[in-house]
Amino acid sequence: MPPRSAAELGEIIRHQRELAELSMRQFAELAGISNPYLSQIERGLRAPSEQVVSAIANVLQVSADALYEQAGIVPPGAPEDNSVLDAIAADGRLTSRQRAALKEVYQAFLAAAPGSRSRSR
């Protein structure tokens, strides 16, 4: 079963669809998804992919990030935990040049990670 946040996201989508006065069938067609799939999303039985959330947000004329945030979900591509960068910055055993080099290498690895957006500070 999907996490509670998927149920919250589904509730938000359903509520926004109802405010837009669109039937489930109309909304699903506009978003380019099937009516049964939209029903499962709205009931919290399925967690939609990033692409589906973007399509739904487009129909609702809001950002996908806004939908995620309303549901208490960290949007994909949001700044990651910076604990590694903080640890590099705090390590007094390293010279400033070493810290800069480590930070640069770490950020390069993050940027090259599959599905990543810019995750640097």
For helices 50-60 and 4-19, angle between their N-to-C axes, nearest 10 degrees = 20
Q: Do 17 and 52 belong to one domain? A: yes
Question: pLDDT > 70: what percent of the chain?
Answer: 83
Q: Do 83 and 53 belong to one domain? A: no
Three-class DSSP category at 119: coil
Q: Which residue segment(s) compose the domain that 119 sits in?
A: 79-121
Q: Do 14 and 63 belong to one domain? A: yes
Q: Do 38 and 88 belong to one domain? A: no
103: which 2 tokens?
């930070």
Q: Do 48 and 101 belong to one domain? A: no
Kindly tell me if the per-residue pLDDT of 121 is higher than 60: no
pLDDT tens across 52-98, in order? 999 999 999 998 888 888 887 776 766 666 788 888 888 889 898 89
Are the beta carbons of 88 and 120 closer than 8 angstroms? no
CATH number of domain containing 51 = 1.10.260.40
* Number of Cβ atoms within 10 Å of the Cβ of 36: 11
Confidence (pLDDT) at 81:
66
How many domains is the chain partitioned into structurally? 2
Q: Do 93 and 56 belong to one domain? A: no
pLDDT tens across 8-63, in order? 999 999 999 999 999 999 999 999 999 999 999 999 999 899 899 999 999 999 98
Q: Do 21 and 59 belong to one domain? A: yes
User: With a threshold of 0.75, does the pTM exceed it?
Assistant: no
What is the full DSSP assignment across 13-71?
Answer: HHHHHHHTT--HHHHHHHHTS-HHHHHHHHTTSSPPPHHHHHHHHHHHTS-HHHHHHHT
Confidence (pLDDT) at 20:
93
Q: Do 60 and 97 belong to one domain? A: no
Q: Do 89 and 110 belong to one domain? A: yes
Are the beta carbons of 42 and 10 closer than 8 angstroms? yes
